[in-house]
Amino acid sequence: MTSITVPAIYGPVRSWRFGQSLGIDLLGAVSTCSLHCRYCQLGTIEQLTCDRAEFVPTQQVQTELQQFAAASDAIDVVTLSGSGEPTLASNLAPVIAIARAQLHRPVVVLTNGTLLGDRAVRQDLAAADIVAVKIDAVTAGQWQALNRPVAGLNLDQVLAGIMTFREQFAGQFTIQTMVTEPWSKLDVERYKAVIRALMPDEVQLNTPLRPRPLTHQLDARGNHDGPADPHWRQPRSVSAEVLTALGHQLQADLPLPVRHRYEATPLSAC
């Protein structure tokens, strides 16, 4: 916990996935997550944990949201993301309810899925309109190398938790995947097997394009461009050609929409 108070609401920012998005950060001044992904736009995660807590008071969020109610027509969605993993916030459910009641817009939660084995987390997330779950790797070795989970997390158990949530969730369920290097044929086949089992409403492929701060900065919550500064560095990413080819390869074999960072409309099967 920290005594520093920072705004919980940021944006709106333009999301290639969801349009004009008003962000809600339930983690506060200290970046907090169960993963420490190599490409994370937040920089070094300051608190690595799987323990839930109330980091930002619900009343603070409610008060800050009031100033956006009159301008809600300019907002497409409200997104819970911010300074880490939003499901770590124990007040996730009431904030979802408040955001929907005040702004009358769909509520999106971006999650890494690591806490979905917890029934309480699944119940909290059930109130969202759209849940986008990150799956960057489908083998334990790749997951450890790219996503660098907190000690004790197990990929098979995380995937099982995601599957349980998928079976119970009535809203729109999306899988988001960050591609940092070209995939092998075996990688593609393993990924398709996971996607077929989950059958999300959509797959969204991304690649890290935003400069990454070396230390946590609140500006990283939005669509920052990153100044020419030694405290920011360019992450590893793949080209538009590589991401497009992967998108078409997946779309050819999966009976669901596949979108990617360079082309936000559904890819046609080919």
Quote the pLDDT of residue 233: 57
CATH topology of domain 9-222+237-260: TIM Barrel (3.20.20)
**What pTM does this model have?**
0.89
Quote the pLDDT of residue 73: 86
CA 61 to chain centre: 20
pLDDT of residue 225 exceeding 90, the answer is: no
What confidence tier does 209 reach under pLDDT thresholds 50, 70, 90?
A: confident
Mean pLDDT of the chain: 89
35-49, 71-85, 197-211, 221-235: least confident range = 221-235
Give the mean model confidence (pLDDT) for residues 57-61.
Answer: 97
Residue 31 and residue 8: Cα distance in Å, rounded? 13
Quote the pLDDT of residue 5: 75
List C-alpha distances in Å: 221 to 69, 234, 253, 257: 21, 16, 34, 27
pLDDT of residue 18 exceeding 50, the answer is: yes
- The structural domains of the chain, with segments of one domain joined by +, span 9-222+237-260
pLDDT of residue 228 exceeding 50, the answer is: no
Q: How many residues does the chain have?
A: 270
pLDDT of residue 113 exceeding 70, the answer is: yes
